[in-house]
Amino acid sequence: MSAADRLAALGLELPAVPAPAAAYQPYAVSGALVLTAGQLPIVDGSLVRTGKLGDAITTDEGLDLARTAGLNVLAIAAAAAGDLERVRVVKLTVFVASVPSFSEQHLVANGASNLIGEVLGDHGVHARSAVGVASLPMDSPVEVEAILEMVGP
């Protein structure tokens, strides 16, 4: 089954690549590697939610937000490689804006990891860091960045 078929089976479509919010590009290519800019949970040009995990946002809500940000990473991957079939995810870094007592960043990060695995299959198996931070741009609860490898012809 192709990545496009898996997306369709999940009831998802790749969104347009989100426009940068400052002075950067959505991705940079170095040889076969694609490094993405951090992606927020943006849908149709708007941040879905603001706030911090462990305060107004639950772990399950954070997981959904990370999934949305992960879908934006996949949109960038497709734009950079021309096709999701040419992409292998090497590493994800998931930043989670959270209160000091919150310690479930790794569970929030599963939202992005699980989606990428569901869509890319073996090419979605990756290393990952989940990092708690005091704040993120635009008061986003999560931000996901990736290191990707272009594979195949």
Per-residue pLDDT of the chain (153 residues; tens, 9 = 90+): 899 999 999 999 999 998 888 999 999 999 999 999 999 999 999 999 999 999 999 999 999 999 999 999 999 999 999 999 999 999 999 999 999 999 999 999 999 999 999 999 999 999 999 999 999 999 999 999 999 999 976
The answer to whether position 73 is within a domain reads yes
Residue 122's domain comprises 3-14+40-150
Structural domains counted in the chain: 1
CATH number of the domain that 133 lies in?
3.30.1330.40
From the DSSP assignment, how many helices (H) and strands (E) are in the chain? 3, 7
Residue 109 lies in a domain: yes
141: in domain: yes
Residue 35 lies in a domain: no
Q: Give the Cβ contact number of residue 21 at 10 Å.
A: 14
> What pTM value is reported for the model?
0.96
* pLDDT for 21: 85
Residues near 83 by beta carbon (within 8 Å), at least 6 away in sequence: none
Question: Does a structural domain hold residue 51?
Answer: yes
Would you say residue 136 lies in a domain?
Answer: yes
